[in-house]
Amino acid sequence: MNDLPDFDAIRVLCVGDVMLDRFVQGSVDRISPESPVPIIQMGETDSVPGGAANVGRNISALGGRCTLIGAVGEDAVGRELTALLTLCGRIGPALVVDPCRPTIEKVRFVAHGQHLLRADREMPGDVSPECGRDIVVRVADRIHEHDVLVLSDYAKGVLTDAVIAGTIAIANEAGVPVVVDPKSARLGRYAGAAVVTPNAKEAAAATGIDVRTDEGAAEAGAKAIAEAGIEAILLTRSEHGMTLVTKDGQVEHVPASAREVFDVVGAGDTVVATLALCLGAKLGLGDAARIANAAAGVVVGKRGTATLTRSELIDELSRLSRIGMSPSQMKVMSADHAVTLREQWERDGLSVGFTNGCFDILHVGHVGILEFARSQCDRLIVGVNADSSVSRLKGPSRPINREEDRAQILGAFGFVDAVVVFCEDTPYGLIERLQPDVLVKGADYTIEQVVGHDIVQRRGGKVVTFDLVPGRSTSNIIAKAGKPAEVAA
């Protein structure tokens, strides 16, 4: 599914255990002489909102808007967390300050890409009844402004039985679907939820059924729905993918999409955030589950408490829809798809460049201009003349290579992000649709002669020329190939 809904208008109310995640980067070169433990030479420290706050970050990164309700302490960590959330722009923190509890803080020490130690600062147990009532009141005051309610349960005390029951009742009364990321084997606590997303360990603990097989996952899902009073369950099964089971008997197994797993921290947050946005956009649970699965596959390929952008998700959905194609083929796309990508890259703050040509027989001059073009932007789209266009421009004996071959060869370059074949003699129409920030052409053209320069300059972009490599051209190669080979002396 490449047609991802626009999440800009979707409002998600997220309630749960907020915390601050710190990652202390360092290096280890020796073992302590005092005891057999590694000594970490501390370097930079990165601090990001975690727990339910990371659900908010994922919603924001994908273009949605989130109101975040949780509890923080009356301390410096709580103030830092609130400030970081406010900087996200699309997150409205509505946090309850509890002076009797510290803000939850997790400090991870990382060396050479490996976690060495995690140190937690928190107070075990539930929040006070007064704090719980304040959270429920805040949900009641805001529920009608939102499309979905998310309960992000990290078992840190915010989502007490009373808070869960109260918030789900309020959402059901308002007709707002509830998505739950659970941390309890007592799934009945979440009765009335639209969908609950336990992982394999949580589902097995709740049902007593091994979910590593598709059959076991389906059985566990049906049992959980019947016993817990929920509408659907989405089992996240790590390398085995996901299994969606609904109250009406629908079962769908979604294979894992991750190509390489670096870090699973926060992957569940990404799943529940994406699922909530999709439900808010009125997608069916099946489509929502597949999109959430794709999002998780991107995030586990990153390190730390990560999020993904809308364009990354679109890229991943496109990749999954084209399984069986080579990576070079996946970069060859329609103009419509390229326009969608260009718009998402712009939303993500990335500059987009464009260059074009026949690229009939690829040579070092082509490589040079493509490398140069990519150095001028964050993402590069290459326009390629179709066979019919090349024949009109170069004569009936051209092209030597078919358009699909020329496009795929260009897609094999790491510095090319997208390739579009166009049938016109010039790429003016394509440039007008793509609206690139940077237009690159060989220096045998003046700026005024570059097709599309007016379009790019009108929007404040730049037109750049590249000095061609002397003596390197497709025509020269063809002429040389046509000459008889010289006999060696």
SS (H, E, C) 308-337: CCHHHHHHHHHHHHCECECHHHHCECCHHH
Instruction: Report how far residue 307's alpha carbon sits from residue 294's, in angstroms, rounded to the nearest whole number.
Output: 13
Classify residue 79 as exposed, middle or buried by CB count within 10 Å of its CB (0-12, 13-18, 19+).
middle
Secondary structure (3-state) at 42: strand
Gap between the Cα atoms of 398 and 421, Å rounded:
16
Distance separating alpha carbons of residues 147 and 11, to the nearest angstrom: 5
375 three-class SS: helix
Q: Of the residues 134, 269, 387, 437, which is catalytic? A: 269
Q: How many helices (H) and strands (E) does the chain have?
A: 17, 20
CA distances from 156 to 4, 102, 121, 162 (A): 34, 12, 11, 14
For 183-203, give one letter per residue: b (16+ CB within 10 A) or e.
Answer: bbbebebbebbbbbbbbbebb
Task: Give the H or E element holding residue 169.
Answer: helix 161-174
Tell me the β-bridge partners of 252.
Answer: 244
Q: Specify the 3-state DSSP secondary structure of 103.
A: coil
CA separation, residue 167 to residues 61, 95, 151, 175, 233 (Å) = 25, 15, 9, 12, 19
Helices 285-299 + 310-321 axis angle, to 10? 110
Q: How many of the other CB atoms lie within 10 Å of CB of 248? A: 8
Taking the C-alpha atoms of residue 157 and residue 155, their distance in angstroms, rounded to an integer, is 6
Pairing relationship of beta strands 178-181 and 148-152 according to DSSP bridges: parallel
Residue 269 annotated to the active site: yes
Active site residues: 269
